[in-house]
Amino acid sequence: MSIFVGTVSPDGRPAGCRGIAVTSPDHLKTVTVYVPMATSRDVLTNIAANKRLAIVGTYPPDHSTMQLKGTTTAVRLASDDEAEFLDYRIERFADMLHAIGIPRRNARAINHWPAFAIDMKVDEIFEQTPGPNAGMPLR
């Protein structure tokens, strides 16, 4: 999945960054999204102000997309134990892009370490695949 994380400031200004990976121990009731330290400053600033977060995941070969919206419950520096997982996710993303004609080096160039892990309670899930059901709630 191609992952994007979005937030909004208290005065309504959006900010976002690429996400590296999303995990969920409980079928999307809660998730952890990993974001690069180098590109997530504005996202973290907005989370500190209002806790709201949106995560969009898109499968590039067919553009199937879903959006998760929710409330941040914790932010922490990703542990060294998680670095291998994030490297793995970047390699799988590179493989998927390569399958549709995009060189692996493009994904491998994505800054992904060090990273923050953001825990979120999922409040809403939406279909975002382009088409007639885009924006419809899922669950």
How many helices (DSSP H) and strands (DSSP E) are in the chain? 3, 7
Q: Residue 56 falls within a domain, yes or no?
A: yes
Nearest to 21 by CA among 36, 42, 40: 36
pLDDT tens-place values along the chain, 139 residues long: 899 999 999 999 999 999 999 999 999 999 999 999 999 999 999 999 999 999 999 999 999 999 999 999 999 999 999 999 999 999 999 999 999 999 999 999 999 999 999 999 999 999 999 889 989 998 6
Provide the pLDDT for residue 23: 96
Provide the pLDDT for residue 92: 95
Q: What is the pTM of this model?
A: 0.94
Q: Residue 132 falls within a domain, yes or no?
A: no
55 Cα distance to chain centroid? 5
Q: Residue 133 falls within a domain, yes or no?
A: no
Provide the pLDDT for residue 13: 95
Provide the pLDDT for residue 69: 98
Q: Residue 35 falls within a domain, yes or no?
A: yes
Provide the pLDDT for residue 77: 97
Q: Which CATH number fits the domain that encloses residue 40? A: 2.30.110.10
Identify the helix (H) or strand (E) that includes residue 125.
Answer: strand 115-127
CB burial of residue 93 (10 Å; 0-12, 13-18, 19+): buried
Number of domains observed in the structure of the chain: 1
Q: Residue 92 falls within a domain, yes or no?
A: yes
Q: Which structural domain, as residue segments, surrounds residue 14?
A: 2-127
Provide the pLDDT for residue 106: 93
